[in-house]
A and B are shown apart, each in its own frame.
Chain A
Amino acid sequence: MKNENIYIYENFKELLSLIAYLITNQIKPYNIQKKEKVTPNLFTNLIHLDTHTYQQFWNKKLSLKVLTLIRDAYRSEDKYKELVIYYVLLNYQKYGEKVIYMRNLKCTNKLLALAKYVHSETHKWKGFLRFQEMENHFYYAEFEPINDILELLAPHFKTRFQRENWLIKDVKRKKYAFKNENQLFFLQEEDILKLELKQSLKEEECEDLWKTFFHTIAIKERTNKKCQQNFMPKRYWKYMIEMEKE
């Protein structure tokens, strides 16, 4: 059996240089993967190249529109997102910016679908995220997004809650968005010394009032749990205090 080449990269910037290298040298990769996600097996060849000479390759070449689209699609957890980006950029070399309208290309559709998924998930969390009030008027929220969207979500709450200080935790990725006074920081687990947050005295009562409202506002004669779940799939329920857990 022929060995299959998987190209390895460490971050988004390196991915773009790697793709530039592959395109320039006319190499068709079997797959491209992030270093920490790779699981080697007998039939795959892992190749990690030094591609820093290609760092400038896309400068001035990529329009902001295409770059943003790629950056957003990259936030998804799709197994083949790097290959999708590779093929879109390969076609970009040929067709230029119009590649993002050429929906007869599989890679274009996939890229647009991934970006849309990322945007729609971000929008949903703007509504479904739940903060708890901690002591000293500090607010804390945990969530588990499917896509890597903390950086897209946090600015929304920064404009909305200007006087409040808060922390949002992406539980699975162990990432934090921390808003203090006028500044927003993105932190890793090791940056957070030790979290000792205690709920404020009012928190329990307020949660109880919200549950009361939530149950009262439903019209019993119109009960339609399927419709409820279509709009608000179960994966969002974990941190929504009004939803009963199974």
Chain B
Amino acid sequence: MTIKEKLTILADSAKYDASCSSSGSTRQNKGGLGSASINGICHSFSSDGRCISLLKILMTNCCIFDCKYCINRKSNQVQRAIFTPEEICELTINFYKRNYIEGLFLSSGIIKSPDYTMEKMIETIYLLRQKYHFNGYIHAKAIPGASEHLLKKLGTLVDRLSANIELPSDNGLKLLAPEKNTQKITGIMSYVKKNQSKTFTPAGQSTQMIIGASKEKDLEILKRSENLYQTFSLKRVFYSAYIPVNHDSLLPSLKTPPLKREHRLYQADWLLRYYNYKVEDLLSEQNPNFNVLLDPKADWAIRHLNEFPKEINRVSYYDLLKIPGIGPTSAKKIISSRRYFKIEFNDLKKMGISVKKAKYFILCNGKYFMNKEFFEASFITKNMILESTEKIDVQKKQLSLFYEE
């Protein structure tokens, strides 16, 4: 099998992993090749609009497990391939020197045993660091069930180590990935959390779950994320809209991947990490799924209109963040400017801050943008939906997907 054929098989198998981030590490170049960049660098964007930052491949797509949702499950008749450590190193180095990539993202199917697979991965990455003197970014997937001493070894070689939780609930995992279990996965996470330092996975850990393959509601999914962030200090939880690759009576049959739902979950995830929101602010037992028409923050603001409108010349940074359409960048701009002058509505435009959503929720120097009697939930909801470009885009996208089938 040629390198090109192997690359086709092993990149194709790796493409469902959502993470491609190369941020969080400050690994320096000590006379060898490459360095990490703290903010990460995108080197290209594939035709699905996702960033390409790392050479994302599997070491092998051979696997002794039979997870229902996975294209590489044991019972599938697909072409199998395996890269040798040298082949992976050569590819990484050759791509890196031409500035195609920021580093390597190595994952693998499980061959022989979890320990054997991890040993092979360690051998590869060790070679890359020691023989090729590679100081670029490396993200490795830990294999559930591998021994702790291997985890330790791998963690000292890479920038980020991750284990995928795969499904939002333990029941989902039991049903669809019977050979994996939650304890094995969270075991890896707590080990990484305990040992994380400048020399052990400096860029921390992340995880991923598939959305829409099992029956969980948004509330349950987001609660799981919140719990993961709190318990294991994860850098990111990635959500991956389920794409049917196998036929199985246990799996739902979807025409299109639930991209809109994935999008809402990412928006809410951002609110948890950067905006001080809690899951119960956003969802409840009575209201367990996100509004399709409004983003989670706007939805929250309309349900809490009594906290608005907020005077942008006075309220705190965290109160500014509660205003729909205002993020950390805009909030910081407002804070640093208002010491020197009173901010009016047209100043916001001058400052490059979009008021499309924000205008309904703010006062500028005591003034509302229109007659105050329109400050009322149904009027604001209606107008925000009308002004939203988001909804139309998604319909178009789904339509065009539908016609391709």
Contact = CB atoms under 8 A, between A and B. Distances in A.
Q: Which of B33, B50, B51 has the most CB of A within 10 A?
A: B50
B339 interface: yes
A133 to B, nearest CB: 7
* Chain B interface size range: 35 or more
Contact of A212 (B4, B35, B102, B336): B4
Contact of B47 (A98, A131, A228): A228
Nearest to B349: A109
Interface in B322-367: 333, 336-337, 339-341, 343, 347, 350-352
A71 interface: no
A58 B393 CA distance: 52
A210 B98 contact: yes
Contacts of A222: 48-50, 241, 243, 257, 259
Contacts of A98: 340
B337 A104 contact: yes
A9 interface: no
B99 A129 contact: yes
B63 interface: no
A213 interface: yes
Nearest to B42: A127
A209 interface: yes
A56 interface: no
A197 interface: no
A193 interface: no
Given A130-B100, A221-B243, A106 B7 contact: no
A101 interface: yes
Nearest to B34: A160
A159 B98 CA distance: 15
A194 interface: no
Interface in A122-169: 123, 126-133, 139, 141, 157, 159-164
A162 B33 contact: yes
Contact of A231 (B35, B49, B99, B337): B49
Interface stretch (B8-16, B120-128, B375-383): B8-16
A113 interface: yes
A214 B98 contact: no
Contacts of B100: 130, 210
Contact of B42 (A104, A219, A231): A231
Given A102-B337, A109-B352, A219-B16, A209 B98 contact: no
A37 interface: no
B294 to A, nearest CB: 21
B37 A206 contact: no
B52 A214 contact: yes
Nearest to A116: B352
Given A129-B99, A224-B397, A160 B29 contact: yes
Given A101-B336, A104-B350, A216-B12, A224 B48 contact: yes
A202 interface: yes
Interface stretch (B89-97, B182-190, B271-279, B307-315): B89-97
B403 to A, nearest CB: 12
B46 A228 contact: yes
A59 B46 CA distance: 49
Contact of A232 (B8, B45, B350): B45
A223 interface: yes
B84 interface: no
Contacts of B35: 159-160
13 contacts: A102-B340, A123-B41, A127-B44, A128-B43, A131-B98, A132-B98, A157-B99, A159-B35, A164-B97, A212-B11, A220-B48, A222-B243, A231-B51
Interface of A: 98, 101-104, 106, 109, 113, 123, 126-133, 139, 141, 157, 159-164, 202, 206, 208-210, 212-228, 230-232, 240, 242
Interface of B: 3-4, 7-8, 11-12, 14-16, 28-29, 31-35, 37, 39, 41-53, 55-56, 91, 94-95, 97-100, 102, 241, 243, 256-257, 259, 333, 336-337, 339-341, 343, 347, 350-352, 393, 397, 401
